[in-house]
Amino acid sequence: MKRSIFLLALSLVAFFQNAHAQKTRTLFYDDILYGKVKQISEIEYYPKSTGIELKDTSWYDEKGNTLENHRRTKHGTLFKEKYITTSDASGRKMEIIGSEKDQNLSAKLDSKGNLIEFNSDFKSGGVNFRSVYEYDKRNNLVSFSSFDKNNSLTLKKTYKYDKKDNLIEADYWRADGKPDYQTTFEYTGIDKTGNWTKRITHKKLPTGQIVDDLIIERQIMYY
């Protein structure tokens, strides 16, 4: 009997360790995933609205690499993208096969698999836009900057996290360096692996005015 209890305890410990051993960052978003996530399906909506603003589904392999993403807006527009990661002498890169027929999309990753640069170039020639991502020592995204075809800054976002690496605040900055607005995040649902399943975004203008909250609910499948 004691041996059975001991073996059961060991199996539970092993399960817990395996579930939490893998820690990867989502490709284009501002949070970390725990465990071997296979698929995440999200919906975004405003509390006072009956419509869904966005449906977002991402698929991952067992190593945490993003394989595919589908996004459908409230207007019915569907974006589909597949991701192929490769490495060469210049580092890790990602080929993006998307539904933007007039654009070539590409991405560069760091050694940890974090997205550090995203580029959109027109197939007819010329730059559409470029985005740059920066991370801290804990692998949290702390800065996002977007540049236009002339390499002029169009938007910047900075992020803050709690001790559990959950995003708690994001500040949006205009191209002139002045604050645009701030968002804070409240987590009301966490699954047994430690990934959040419901998050409320509170938006505040520089004047202090609070505007409509945005709610994200997501369903997570694991390997």
Q: What's the token pair of residue 49?
A: 């609205």
Specify the residue for token string 């900075």: 158
Report the pLDDT value the prediction gives residue 116, as an integer from 0 to 100. Answer: 93
Mean pLDDT of 18-27: 69
pLDDT tens-place string over residues 81-121:
999 988 888 788 888 998 788 998 889 888 888 899 999 99
Full set of structural domains in the chain with CATH: 22-222 (2.40.160.190)
Contacts by residues 57-64 (CB-CB < 8 Å, ≥ 24 positions apart): 58/26, 58/27, 60/24, 60/33, 62/36, 62/223, 63/22, 63/24, 64/22, 64/24, 64/33, 64/36, 64/37, 64/113
Model confidence at 124: pLDDT above 80: yes
Q: 122 has which bridge partners?
A: 103
Q: How confident is the model at residue 194 (pLDDT cuts 50, 70, 90)?
A: very high
Whether the CB-CB separation of 198 and 217 falls below 8 Å is answered with yes
pLDDT over 70, % of the chain = 91
Average pLDDT, the chain: 87
Sequence-ordered strand ranges (E) for 126-177? 127-135, 141-147, 153-161, 167-173
pLDDT tens-place string over residues 23-80:
888 887 778 899 999 999 999 999 888 789 999 999 999 988 899 999 999 999 999 9
Report the pLDDT value the prediction gives residue 4, as an integer from 0 to 100. Answer: 47
Report the pLDDT value the prediction gives residue 92, as an integer from 0 to 100. Answer: 83
